Amino acid sequence: MPEWTKSADAPVRITFLLFDEFSNLCLANCLEPLRAANTITRTRAFDWQIVTPSGAPVLSSSGMQVMPHAALSDMRERDYLFVLASYHHEAHDSRQNRQALRMAAKKARTVVGLDAGPWLLASAGLLSGRRVTVHWDLLDAFTERFLDSEAERARVLRDGPWWTCAGAMSALDLTLGLIADHLGIAARLDVESLFIHGDPPVTMPRERQAISDPLVHRALGLMRETVERPLPLASLAQALSCQPRTLDRRFRSRLGAAPGTVYRHLRLAAARRMLEATALGIAEISLRCGYDSPAALARAFRQVYDTTPSALRKGS
């Protein structure tokens, strides 16, 4: 059963291991959603560091230099180790790096291979007997090289504490799923709204069942379209050609919350974005988000965010 909201007792600790000529887009599609989740929740829900094999700076495939926080050998116990390699990954497939990956993997609860990263993990003997994916350009060669891994053409695969991801756009799917794991579906929807226009395509198999139920998917789209003039539950169900109790049951099973709770969240999230990103007055924002007055918006804001619209704007 998915959880609508969750709170982390402590920051989720993530280490990103970068190899020369890594994909900066892949890295950004991990870091920016995590940064957004911290901003939206106003907590340090996720804490990350960047390491390289030797501690020296690395260059992305586009020539951008990244200065790491530490060397891989200095890595301490972490919740996640993200291994990111892209172009010319075979140049990094050395005995020294294989040994370093095996040592680092012991310090992480979950190891994630991104882009060509699964190749290096498999070469280190860490993906034996696991279902894995890799950048699709490498899939045939990977299958021929690593006979003890079950390679599949997928965007993201989770096999216990071993996650693999096919590339840059899939990295966004993976990170959104991670956010849902630790903060709940509501936080995931908030982050999605910053990066994806329209109905968000949810592509991870595990999360697909949580949000891409066709009825729930259409309902979320209709809710977003009617933020300014929210529909009663009966009217929403009628527009979706279903019974209100059917809609309620599907929302609770897929999202872990009733339709009214989700609808209110989407309206308040829209109001929050307007407060932080526009100069619109609070009265105008109230009307645009379906509230009769600033006082009504303030009451709803306090219940969900434990602050007021004016206080949020001052602190943003």
Query: pLDDT 10s digit of each residue in the chain, 316 long?
Result: 789 998 878 999 999 999 999 999 999 999 999 999 999 888 999 999 999 999 999 999 999 999 999 999 999 999 999 999 999 999 999 999 999 999 999 999 999 999 999 999 999 999 999 999 999 999 999 999 999 999 999 999 999 999 999 989 899 999 999 999 999 999 999 998 887 644 444 433 443 444 668 999 899 999 999 999 999 999 999 999 999 999 999 999 999 999 999 999 999 999 998 998 889 999 999 999 999 999 999 999 999 888 899 998 887 5
DSSP secondary structure string for all residues of 151-185 = E---SEEEETTEEEE-SHHHHHHHHHHHHHHHH-H
Q: Which domains does the chain have, with CATH numbers?
A: 12-177 (3.40.50.880), 213-316 (1.10.10.60)
pTM of the entire predicted model: 0.88
In the chain, the amino acid numbered 65 is Q
In the chain, the amino acid numbered 303 is Q
The structure tokens listed for 267 are 């309206």
Count of Cβ atoms closer than 10 Å to residue 30 Cβ: 24
Q: Do 4 and 184 contact (CB within 8 A), yes or no?
A: yes
The Cα-based distances of 102 to 54, 98, 125, 197 in angstroms read 15, 6, 8, 40
Sign of the Cα torsion 8, 185, 33, 40 reads negative
Query: What distance in Å separates the CA atoms of residue 223 and residue 218, rounded to the nearest whole number?
Result: 9
Of 229, 270, 236, 239, the residue nearest 251 (C-alpha): 236
